[in-house]
Amino acid sequence: MKNGFVRVAAAVPEIRVADCAFNISRISALIQNAEAEKVQIVCFPELSVTGYTCGDLFFQQKLIADAEEALKQLQLITFSTTAVVIVGLPLRIQNQLFNTAVVLQSGKILGIVPKTHLPNNNEFYEKRWFSPSSATKVESITIADQQVPFGTNLLFSDTQFSFAIELCEDLWVPIPPSSQHAMHGAEIIFNLSASNELIGKNNYLRQLVEQQSARCNAGYVYASAGFGESTTDVVYAGNGLIAENGKMIASSERFTFEEQLIVSEIDIERLHAERIRNTNFCNDKSAQDYRIIKIEDAHYKDFKLKRTFEKHPFVPSLSNREKSCEEIFSIQVGGLAKRWKHTNSETLVLGISGGLDSTLALLVCVKTADKLGYDRKRITGITMPGFGTTDRTYTNAVNLMQSLGINAMEISIKDACIQHFKDIDHNPELHNITYENTQARERTQILMDMANKQNGMVIGTGDLSEQALGWATYNGDHMSMYGVNSGIPKTLVRFLVDWAAQSLDSVSSEILKDVLKTPVSPELLPAGKDGVILQKTEDVIGPYELHDFFLYYFIRFGFSPEKILFLAINAFEDIYPTDVIEKWLKMFIRRFFSQQFKRSCMPDGPKVGSINLSPRGDWRMPSDAVAFKI
């Protein structure tokens, strides 16, 4: 494996029905292609050596003998390759015929897996020719002068991962064999198939593959018969599918006359991370014992990943934007509505800076008031200009509060901060952390005291990305009575505000569009000439899109810094040089560990996605843990 990835392929060769010599030549050609692509395991369709649609020719001794001879030829061919090869052929054992998958590597037949569930419907009559796996107790057979393990309980394994096999119909039954395979340690399932095409069937098949890979926390590689199979009554489109834990990561072109090799990588470390968190994922002691078949490690160190990774893993796809944004807002609104009614607060109080986070928090407050049937005047938004406040953010804050119809207030913090500087003997010309945090804490004091005055509740505006980095003043903007954005990372904040801008009135929409264009800044240092924002957060701590990427893979899967760096380079190589990505990853790791003390006492807030840093549930970490090295 390279960085936890195993390269796999679903192969769809051209075949000729009952022409084993031709079929094995095409299979061999695709094996060579797979070898050139540094594929570690390549899977071919069901009965690919003979063709699936041979019908009563399966009763012909000539065909069965040809198939076995073709297997011997394939065995010789694999002497010069390192990839594990999985092919399908009919196999006679004593007086029964089985539909099997044969696993080969480096000139050896490693194991043979018979099909468990045989279809017997209007389209397929397999029970006419084949016996199910349950029809024999044989555990090994002699073939090609080898004693070979035979059965459905075979687990093929190297030192780092394992795979198992099921065939076509096995996937479509209520409890597929792959469910047991996964429970016994198989991280990848290979399915040799010959499924015909019908209207709507392909969508169902893709869902089935995705769902089974999700249910098993596994990779799933599906190779189905294509061009060359008989079309007497049905048509085969040549489906090659590769899924990982519920997501399709590669697929073939259907109805093509060309042979195809669909190649991608399965992230074994990611699957391990999923399984280790799933306490119900354990071996079924009542099931049959599995036999471990050793495969050789294929040590490819220099292949470049074929699969890609989303730069913004927290952000929903544009095709699902409307539904996703509505659901996220509903979660935020639902959490705040419960807290508002429970506390019997007269008002919600929050600071409005003209930045992204406070804008999203205000939108959530407004939607909550509307949902509960409350007057929007029960929301008090306070803009608190300080030494670094620019005309742009101030104007946006004031105009947004006015356009949304809430109770708007303005309280300058300058005089209070100047007095505080005198009290603690701080030189106001020294623009250090004391200078900045004094302003943040003064704003929080105003919000808290105004909430007391109005029998209100202070709504926090800080987001998930800021919690991860500790980018908040302790007992300043770090503190509130309910943090509606606590489960929303910065990249998703931007996505939600952009969506809201398209659904509000024209005046509010224009304000939001300008907020989106404004650089992210705490505005705690004086602005430059002409009111230009000089203190830009991402210049200091790095791009939030990188930090959100790091956060996702660090928390969701527990990946090492080295693995995260590898993925980030793969995702962002067109934007950031490797040394820049590594620089900000080191910053993320350092700050994530050193700032845990702020998360240990963070306010309540609604969990939105799979990642949350609440110390009460999702993330329990000692504040004095030593940061990982990279």
Q: Which residue has the tokens 């803009």?
A: 383
Running DSSP on this structure, what letter comes out for residue 614? -
Beta carbons of 155 and 292 less than 8 angstroms apart: yes
Q: What are phi and psi of 421, to 5 degrees?
A: -60, -40
Q: Is 46 a catalytic residue?
A: yes
Give how far Cα 306 sits from Cα of 5, 43, 79, 281, 407, Å: 11, 18, 27, 30, 54
Of the candidates 554, 543, 552, the residue with the CA atom closest to the CA atom of residue 583: 543
User: DSSP 3-state assignment of 51?
Assistant: coil
20 an active-site residue? Answer: no
Pairing of strands 5-12, 260-267: antiparallel
Q: Which of 43, 168, 216, 365 is catalytic?
A: 168
- The whole-angstrom separation of Cα 379 and Cα 336 is 13
b/e map 246-265, b = 16+ CB within 10 Å? bebbbbbebeeeebbbbbbb
DSSP symbol at 623: T
Give the C-alpha distances (Å, rounded to integers) separating 280 from 167, 176, 217, 434. 26, 18, 12, 50
In this structure, what are the phi and psi dihedrals at residue 558, rounded to the nearest 5 degrees?
Answer: 65, 30
Tell me if 458 sits within 8 A of 349, measured CB to CB.
Answer: yes
Decide: 290 and 155 in contact? Cβ < 8 Å: yes
Residue 54 catalytic?
no
Please identify which of the residues 14, 20, 43, 46 carries the catalytic annotation: 46
Q: Please give the angle made by the CA atoms of 133, 91 and 42, to the nearest 5 degrees.
A: 90
Q: Is 142 left (phi over 0), alpha (psi -120 to 50) or beta?
A: beta
Per annotation, catalytic residue among 115, 490, 563, 598: 115
Buried-state track 505-543, b at ≥16 Cβ within 10 A, e below 16: eeebeebbebbeebbbbbbbbebeeeeebebebbeebbb
Q: How far apart are CA 158 and CA 295, in angstroms?
A: 5
Determine contact, residues 40/300, Cβ cutoff 8 Å: yes
Catalytic residue list: 46, 115, 168
